Chains A and B, each alone.
Chain A
């Protein structure tokens, strides 16, 4: 009971801090209705909130503050806020809003603050509905902390029955969804109902700011408390039509620890096997058309896995070498090949790899995820787009028959839950734009050469033909260039280079025009049979400009190369 009492002390401290709070410095928003649903059927506590926000003040508000008790906030793995419109079935959620952690002054340490910037300032009397999805890890605490093989696995959840908010809440309700109806104990407040495996608190009306009513729910959980302490995913892109994914898992069971003996006899007992707190297998949902799947560890192949696949998905049921009881660890590697065409898109001259970030395992929490994207040898100008912040670095990896080594993009993120399984994009581009400019310059050279020929032979017809062909070539090239530039602008990561590229293209076009003008002058001069010196005099000024422009274009090219 020691643990339990310390938890109670925590809560009391929090309460104390809250009562001490002075009048809030936040705006006059009012939450007219708050619905909270907490799903604890797996090891991850998923909280969904629907908040109806009304601006009762006089000024328009563009920021909204979300709060969590610190012990929850520290374990926040995923948070997304969206605002929705309409009601009932017509309800649709719109774009995600940007959320960042805030540290307002004068606030107690026991509360975490997140500030949400609203899509448009909320003026007086307006309402807005916000949908908040948050996933917490490590908030289901096993209690008791050590159990024997025969015991059931009990966990404990602490929350507040009343919504902790810096705003006044007019109406609030909370429902907690438990994995099964076996509830050891729960805090009984007014308006508490138990329906099967669901506990409902509320509705509570007219709550003051920072209302807090601690509750503790103690219940049985049969979910696998599988946590990957470290997961390294290596995604290797091959020239030969394959994406090879290799995942190294350091897995641990974070539930209540096993104490005493492990009895195989009882574990395998037919009518009533003991040891329900252990998990035997994990399910991985791999992308469809995954092939060459393997499952092994440091000492060899593990023969206990099953695979099912259809056109939509490939399911791999992985059984570790031994059942994992609380506190037991294991390490293993799974690998699979994916067809390159499903993940690599080569539209408009650049290639991007569009692949999911997290582990394919269901309900797995990853404490430290490292994704290494290995690109083919010689890839250049790599950029990565991720929907959330990650730590990025670059490495070089040597593999079969490599000379220069393959560039590796390393992405790191802590505390990853399946909600993070969103697509990341890795692209290698720019090369193409440069190529086109180079081709243009080559065409210019051709024009110049034709002029030189003209002065030597005086053959006007060939010179005109050369001009025509170069003209059409340049037109084609500029057509090719257009979509490339458009796509370049659409990538936020390319923002640094794109103005330079645009400048380059503009300069090149100017150069092109000047050259054409010069060409026309020269050809006309020849047609009029004016003297060589006369023509030279006429084009001298143009020539200077051309040389200057050419210099600028070359400089720009060099500059972009360096980037």
Chain B
């Protein structure tokens, strides 16, 4: 915001030349709008690094599913999409797509696509999908501005918009191509919160209605809506406890909750969870509590007798809590209200998933966050955040209480799971913006009063003003002006470091599509490994259209979207048993695995192998999770069988079961004859840095069907059973 102070003067002088004098207020408006406009554009173009570095393509895993469904939606229309039974995934179970997804993202992209078509821009749906995330990130900056304006002032709003536009924590999930639910959900989340805070502040039904619709959009877009439906009641509860109950709050919450709930029930995947699931009960409890509060208020007004009211209060409160408790108990016992899900537990207790649900723990983005990634994603915001909290507490209001609660709770969740850094990012940016804006404002006002004083003294030269200036001078501390300048320079230096850091992180770390891998060659040239697409395209072109492909679930969405083939399991991990079956097949001996594969009608098996290129996130490194998930359902599979002294090895010292299980065989088939690195023996695994233990692998029931040019993806054909003689 360095320009903010300097440019009014600049503008003033240049504009006066043209005798086009704007009033101060108009100047301010002009500045604000142009800054916002620039931030809007900046937020968009910063996210285009991925297109520049690679190409306009869909990233990662889940976005491929979203892309595939969007394609289906635009081709077949909404009703077909809503009633879509997908037989290409979860063979032989299939998946009811319409009932098991959040349609917000796809419908948004399809609407944008149809609008563009209507305006005679015949763009490809892929381009729309690729650019949806940056577009919504830009919109988020606008919401952040209004939110900041609401909780502090316009300055804080502008700073917040600028901070969130380039904050790596947000960029990581919203670069061009990361076509995921979060892309629109963060916008919806912030919009809902902003509208709710506005509703609480004004007590207006229309704002509350807006917030209910914001909530509806959020529910339609992302499962993270649970955060809203828990944070908002929590916030209301805190306001009740701190004695900030008001009619405004009553109107805002009731309208938002009732309408939001009814609207959310229209999403099939959510359905009646708002009244049936334990995760949503808090909101309902607070809703009832609000009614009790209102009732008590009325009774108090009618009674005019404090003593009588006290007893009445005691009776009502105890009976209300009793009735609520009994209802909850009965509901839970009868199974009407479902208990909290594992995902919810794992959020509250970071160690829960590790012990109970390996499938959640196996995902890298569900790991607890390391400090380094906080630093990586927030940079200076990490230090500005506490400062912002200080300012918030200094000027406590309904709005600041909200942002403080949002910031603290989301930061806790961000600590539990890496991916939830995303949810905390808007709060961190807003609170940091308050810190920056308040500091800069204080410092500049300090400088201004100093500068003004000698000016007025010299021009007017009236004794009284002189004396008053002397008084202020005397009152101030020594070197105050220099100190303020130094501090300001420091702030701007920090902010510029932040901008540099964000740009660097965006271009280096967060713009990789992870489908195409890039590496630096020996001469500094860029080498591209396009093996994934090579393999998927081979599947698409050279296998029968009804072929079933078995792979670890990570690649399921990509195989169906790019390979257009039926998969056994995919990234929608709704059936743990099915995944465990695949895990079991991968960790069994070949003949045992063959029986499992026959029973699942598997025609092809796909494994990802990084031993030639040194690509570390391959199936061998994920193998222990397959064992754990498989073992969780089938006790035949025991983790210690694959370990030697608690250590996971693939070389000669590995356990015999490890050396002969299907996964090992498929990854290292004929690898023992290959020289990967000069001066190393044959079969040297570059990803793990060891010579493999079993070089003579014979396959009985499978044969190599295709291996990509860098061996990253290997596909095997399952042979039909031999005739019995």
Contacts and interface: CB of A to CB of B under 8 A. Distances in A.
A, B co-complexed? yes
Interface of A: 260-265, 268, 297-304, 321-322, 328-331, 398-403
A321 B530 contact: yes
A263 B704 CA distance: 7
B703 A400 contact: no
A177 B562 CA distance: 44
B673 interface: yes
Among A265, A300, A302, the most chain B Cβ lie within 10 Å of the Cβ of A300
Contacts of A402: 120
Interface string B46-63: 000000000101000000
Given A300-B55, A301-B55, A301-B57, A322 B122 contact: no
Given A260-B703, A303-B528, A329-B542, A321 B122 contact: no
A299 B562 contact: yes
B536 interface: yes
A265 to B, nearest CB: 5
B248 to A, nearest CB: 50
Contact of B541 (A300, A303, A328): A328
Given A299-B536, A301-B57, A321-B533, A262 B541 contact: no
B121 A401 contact: yes
B674 interface: yes
B127 interface: no
Interface string B114-151: 00000011100000000000000000000000000000
A322 B712 CA distance: 13
B707 A300 contact: no
Given A263-B704, A300-B55, A330 B670 contact: no
Interface secondary structure of A, over-half rule: loop
B651 interface: no
Nearest to A270: B675
B589 interface: no
Nearest to B57: A300
B534 A321 contact: yes
Given A264-B706, A329-B541, A398-B122, 12 more contacts: A262-B705, A263-B704, A264-B704, A265-B670, A265-B673, A299-B537, A299-B562, A328-B541, A328-B542, A400-B120, A401-B120, A403-B120
B703 A297 contact: no
11 contacts: A260-B703, A264-B706, A265-B670, A299-B562, A301-B57, A304-B530, A321-B530, A322-B537, A329-B541, A398-B122, A400-B122
Contacts of B538: 321-322
A302 B533 CA distance: 9
Interface of B: 55, 57, 120-122, 528, 530, 533-534, 536-538, 540-542, 562, 670, 673-674, 703-709, 711
Nearest to A263: B704
Contacts of B707: 262-264
Contacts of B528: 303
Nearest to A304: B530
B289 to A, nearest CB: 53
Contact of A265 (B530, B674, B706): B674
Interface secondary structure of B, over-half rule: mixed
A250 B203 CA distance: 64
A297 B674 CA distance: 31
Nearest to B670: A265
A327 to B, nearest CB: 8
A264 B534 CA distance: 13
Contacts of A261: 703-705
A297 B537 contact: yes
B9 to A, nearest CB: 45
Nearest to B710: A264
A370 B674 CA distance: 46
Contacts of B711: 264
A261 B698 CA distance: 13
Contacts of B542: 328-329
A402 B120 CA distance: 6
Nearest to A329: B541
B706 A300 contact: no
Contacts of B530: 302-304, 321
B76 to A, nearest CB: 18
Nearest to A398: B122
Contacts of B536: 299
B359 to A, nearest CB: 28
A261 B57 CA distance: 32
A260 B705 CA distance: 8
Contacts of A300: 55, 57, 533
A549 B447 CA distance: 93
Nearest to B515: A300
Given A262-B704, A262-B705, A264-B711, A330 B541 contact: yes
Contact of B120 (A262, A264, A398): A398
A361 B322 CA distance: 82
B530 to A, nearest CB: 6
Among B121, B530, B705, B711, the most chain A Cβ lie within 10 Å of the Cβ of B530
A325 to B, nearest CB: 9
Contacts of B562: 298-299
Contacts of B57: 300-301
Nearest to A331: B541
A446 to B, nearest CB: 41
Nearest to A296: B55
A262 B714 CA distance: 11
A246 B42 CA distance: 34
B125 to A, nearest CB: 12
Among B541, B706, B707, B708, the most chain A Cβ lie within 10 Å of the Cβ of B541
B714 to A, nearest CB: 8
A488 to B, nearest CB: 35
Nearest to B534: A321
Contacts of B540: 298-299
A398 B534 CA distance: 33
A399 B122 contact: yes
Nearest to A328: B542
Contacts of A401: 120-121
Please name the 8 residue pairs, one residue from A and one from B, whose CB atoms are nearest each other, closest first.
Answer: A264-B707, A321-B534, A301-B55, A299-B562, A261-B704, A329-B541, A300-B57, A261-B703
Contact of B534 (A265, A322, A329, A403): A322
A80 to B, nearest CB: 35
Contacts of B673: 265
A499 to B, nearest CB: 41
B193 to A, nearest CB: 37
B511 to A, nearest CB: 15
A254 to B, nearest CB: 14
Contacts of A321: 530, 533-534, 537-538
Given A265-B674, A321-B538, A399-B122, A299 B704 contact: no
A322 B530 CA distance: 11
Given A299-B533, A328-B542, A400-B122, A322 B55 contact: no
A342 to B, nearest CB: 26
A398 B706 CA distance: 41
A198 to B, nearest CB: 37
B694 to A, nearest CB: 16
A322 B706 contact: yes
A302 B530 CA distance: 8
A562 to B, nearest CB: 30
A321 B562 CA distance: 13
A384 to B, nearest CB: 25
A310 B121 CA distance: 35
Contacts of B709: 264, 268
A273 B673 CA distance: 14
Among A260, A264, A328, the most chain B Cβ lie within 10 Å of the Cβ of A264
A273 B562 CA distance: 30
Contacts of A263: 670, 704, 707
Contacts of A262: 704-707
